[in-house]
Amino acid sequence: MGVVRSNPTRRGTGFSVVELLVVVMVVGVLSAASVVMFSKGKARYQLSQKAQTISSQIERARSLAVKYNQTLTLGFSSQNSVFGITCTDCSLPKSELPQYRMPAGITLSAYPTITIKGNGTIAASTGTIVVSDGRGRQVPITIANSGRTTVGDVSDTSTAH
């Protein structure tokens, strides 16, 4: 009686179904994790850009106050949804700085009135504004008396322990 032997050179020439399933599952988990991280990063970036826009409005108004050697007032109107120059006797600076409409879902810790003198100094009703997106992410904007605004880093309190 003859013994049937398997060909040793054919052993291990392919992948088993279990090995393929494990690889597909690992790729799926890594893909899902990267999508979540990308969406969080995108949301953080968008919030930072909104804070940068508010800071730019303040900085641009400061340069206009110096340019025209005029005291300008910045503030919010329309139920705290529009930010811009609010003084009545400043038509030229108003024409150069369009108002900024706050995006839906964005809130501020304070809605300051900011007075900028012709020499560039700033008097604000609050020194720091925190911009928040309602999902636990927030970014501070610091307004110095010298007229400099600084946008801080985005913090995410929803993932803090």
pLDDT at 126 over 90: no
Residue 100 β-bridge partners: 83
| Distance between CA atoms of residues 111 and 13, nearest Å | 69
CB neighbour class for 55 (10 Å; exposed up to 12, middle 13-18, buried from 19): buried
What are the strands, taking DSSP E only, across the chain? Answer: 72-77, 82-85, 100-101, 107-108, 114-116, 122-124, 128-132, 137-143, 149-151, 155-156
pLDDT score for 161: 43
Mean pLDDT computed over 10-24: 81
127 against 3, higher pLDDT = 127
For the chain, the average pLDDT equals 86
Place of tokens 């003859």: 2
Write the pLDDT tens digit of every residue in 99-110: 999 888 898 888
Mean pLDDT computed over 58-75: 93
pLDDT score for 116: 92
41 against 10, higher pLDDT = 41
Which of the four pLDDT bands, split at 50, 70 and 90, describes residue 51?
very high
Mean pLDDT computed over 32-54: 86
